Amino acid sequence: MQRTAIDGVQLEISVSGAGEPVVFVHGAMGDECAAVLVEPALTQRYRLIHYHRRGWGESEPLTAPLTIEQQATDCLAVMRHLGVERAHLAGQSYGGVIVLQVALDAPEVVQSLALLEPALPAIAFSSPQFGTVMAKAVAQYQTGDKTGAMATFGQEVAGATYRTVFDQTLPLGYFDRWAASADTFFQHDAAALQPWAFTPAEAARITQPVLNMRGANTQPYFREMYETVQQW
């Protein structure tokens, strides 16, 4: 990835392939889109665009929470910087929320949406299971155990064997980079997500095709998010 000044903000971006543009927005890991970015079925047909959100990877650090609306503005800035007028948007977890916001703010630039378990806060933060694990992770983070805190969160949302799977599919050093971004996750991203709301009325404003996806063995609250989006 290459660090580039975009609208006065330093963001890491990567571009590969050729064809219709597809913009990937990662969730609370930074590297989780890496596996699909090298899929021949995509690289041979599409122009794949990926960037690290502020506070992740080598992108500009965050010193305060950046609202979901502001993060959607960053996504739009990346598109403008690359001369992309219209694109397919793919968002995983936290990234799914951001691409939904882009579709609300600038529907003219969105050709379609791929939502990979979008982290709808009204469901996540009302789940006792999710709340219990987050409380444990926050306690670890507050004691200075950033690696343990991120491992607790990772095991909860991606399963007990997630490290085995991710070691096979994600770039070398992904977990170290993830742990290094713990401040962003616990201090800024979570704080920005909690007040964000997405309602049936807002869902009705989205007229582009939507690919709604969930993991086969995902957690109950992610299943509920999937079913909610499907219904809306």
Condensed to tens digits (0 to 9), the pLDDT of residues 27-40 reads 998 898 998 999 99
Give the β-pairing of 46-51 and 87-92. unpaired
Closest CA to 135 of 159, 114, 153, 117: 153
Closest CA to 31 of 218, 221, 167: 167
Alpha-carbon distance 183 to 171, whole Å?
A: 21
Q: What value does the mean pLDDT of the chain take?
A: 95
DSSP secondary structure code for residue 8 in this structure = T
Closest CA to 229 of 218, 206, 219: 206
Tell me what pLDDT residue 153 has: 95
Q: Are 26 and 55 in contact (CB under 8 A)?
A: no
pTM (2 d.p.): 0.96
Alpha-carbon distance 216 to 203, whole Å?
A: 24
Tell me what pLDDT residue 100 has: 98
pLDDT digits (tens, 9 = 90+) for 91-136: 999 999 999 999 999 999 999 999 999 999 999 999 999 999 999 9
Tell me what pLDDT residue 181 has: 94
Question: For residue 61, what are the contacts with CB-CB under 8 A and spacing of at least 6?
Answer: 54, 55, 184
Residue environment code for 143-179, b if the CB has 16+ CB neighbours within 10 A, otherwise e:
eebbbbbbbbbbebbbeeeeeeebeeebeeebbebbb
Distance (Å) of CA 216 to CA 54, 188, 212, 222: 30, 30, 13, 11
Alpha-carbon distance 137 to 205, whole Å?
A: 36
